[in-house]
Structure 1
């Protein structure tokens, strides 16, 4: 019996030890947030923690002579993934944002330590984070000192035989020199203070290079430290009247790269000048087991007079300055997990390993955002012999990831008011799979800078339109005469229709004016833009391509029913030079006699599989001697010409659908055709028929109408003084159509395998209960400036 109890205790202990192995890595950052009325300092502490689940977090405590306390704590999930080593189920990264009160702007130290890392091949067991921060007023920027913005994805992996370079995210707001070194103070910065074999670290460029090592099912635990040094000699001034001089890192201390960590020193560390007696804390969480005292140090601060904090602006420098040679301004931990996988047949990017392609931003790109306006980062990758599966990323609280129907990834984030003036790195990699193997792309990081409003606009989304109102002063004096939508050919797309003396106003149908449609798992997104149009070619100046104001509406998808576009579509009226005003009409008829038109109140129209659908397009024009040409007709689940997953009925004037029949018409301004009804694959039960049409001078052999069926890309180029012989292309549509469903004796809907129209598309729109309108402003003369503007929900 005793032996059985002992065995049970041993099993429980083993289970406890295994479950305790949960740490994957993390980092921290500090932000100065001003002063309280009593003179104390407000600070924001952001920590990113990665564990094997989403409910653990790092507990930070202060030690030293300037210890403060946390006032609030908010935790949120950033990202999670199941592509992990075989012995792990998943990892989860969270961010904890804490507000702290510090007694003064003097330097301080924060520490976090506990057990245990997940199983590592380089014998890292306990995790140790040690940070140092200094909010002293800088003599070069005349602002409180700032720490570097650092980030990395929590989990990196590479095949054994593929050398790869990782450029770590280390952006310094003050322009300081950032150094990324490996931890060298055992028990404070690291547990195993040696860079793993097979890697090389360039400290000055913060570049980690994987060279070669054998694969293993366990990960490497990386324990790094990020420090920043002034590029020249500067002074830091404090509110108590004291100061400290900081020197740049001498060239003799510069280490380009090393493959093993330097030996641990027994002398005092770089922050030796601070008193570091760790305070006793009683609020430690259950998993905080370490009680390692802070290292013993000496204090060398010389008492000073009570000069005010702004005393440094005077020309007389006091003699009571504290001097420390070549010490960093701040120190932050950076820990992450790295897995070396079995070899891959080819290391060339784009084969097995995903390769980034446009519009993915480059590493180090700076993206401008505004408060309360969504910023969007689009990421696309390709791989010939593996399947793109997921994107993993690390970023600030409330950042989200999405995947659209084109297999592009979209990272979205809306900065809050408290983020104004800050900058945040966002890092990402794309993962692909082939069988049981998983592969990662290179890692890229961008920096999002939050600025004040640059353009004032409001977007209102309805079931069928987007209304955008832009303050004219935001366009630097440009008026509606200088501006246009993506496709202004339809008269309803003219900005002159609704604009007034103070605002550019556009009411844009979701299926007109060049509106683009994108789709992901959760939303349908309709996008358009206001941009500068063509000026008089004889003018001495031009305003073309100065600005773009991109706006979109976002609709949630639920189920397979649409409340949008259920009504019969109205006629399309167009004005073009040389053709005047003409109107397109698209209708469905009940028979091949084309006499009885379906009533607009009968939509959506219902058909049985195999029924023939009769359609007629006609154009009325104030100009004689014209003819209409139908260049293409397609079927789609949405009434939008820019939706990509469509089925072609007519393409380039050529018949494509095998059941298509062209019926005779009494004149050249009518086009009659019919096809057999079809059934969708899946649950999609509605469709629109959309056609691209144009007008031409009748009988002219040089027009597109005269060429008929043609795959040629040739166009008619004519001098502006020559007569106009053909119009632009216009989009007309009608629907929706719906298949009549029959009861299936087996309990399901009937399925007819003799389909002549096979169409695969995304889910249809649901009730517009949550509609988001956003506008993005871009100046074409700058490198990267995308700012989302205010969103109004309808």
Structure 2
């Protein structure tokens, strides 16, 4: 069985604690380490709060005690989206308890402390609230799905039958209640732009008044944008009209599958779970990125083996780390497209452990031929990666791989228990 989850953002110090991570439930609590006891020195915790599409995040701080002043030593930061690439909603270390509401379904909270004084810290609660249902936007792997309420259009004097995209030949599906567009990333006049860390796909839904001769309403311009930040899709919609404004921003994750194959021809996938193999047997894997954009490239940054699917930090074995090959049996194969990565390594067993092995592989998605991106840096050490830019990655976990062992009585292979 193959499943995907996002690698949590966790930072460690010499003390025995962890903090940060992805919070994906509709409501919950976050707090400084050891709360309500004093937080540790040199903490750096990042929480990403991600709720369902077309919902907003509302965050309320219920307790706050840390070193005050100019907030240079200990502080909390709240971002309206991903860290570093989104507007800063607030930075504080004392004062009244604050409430923040995101403009999208994702908010980031960062807590920092230095090596001087420590205090009780903070506790905050969050919950999701529905966004304006007049317009909704989903950035799917192959297209943007936009739904506009007909009541919304009629209330502002626009006709559902006069909506067009950059390419007027791409028409919507019109029902009694909604107008729905499925806008491909590489068709219908969608424009693709990019810089060092962002890929933007944009289109415009244009509308005109329902009048037949004249109108005193401005033409409707509904700008639709899907922004990809490494492995994150930022979905933005707004209306360019002084009479009203609609802003929709959503976030979702890339879809990457990791599949075993029975040979280097990569023609027959292996769906057995667990996958029984012999010691030192060649294991062939293929990673596939689901996206309609042909100008994206997939890069394997790290692949770690573990005897358990729940712990990839201790007692593990690195096959490749930060783009650096650590296992001498690792090798890559020719891939028919940039969305596909093929590689292999030889099966092994952990000493003094059960024969099951799980893999956790970290992938990065970049623009093709963007030679400043992570995908073209190859083997780098961790400090160099952190100095250049922070980014999230697609993490895929697969397994278990189960070893066949030799039956000592009959000399035949049997299934390990």
TM exceeds 0.5?
no
Higher relative contact order (CA 8 A, sep 6+): 2
Higher fraction of strand: 2
TM-score, with structure 2 as normaliser: 0.43
TM-score, with structure 1 as normaliser: 0.24
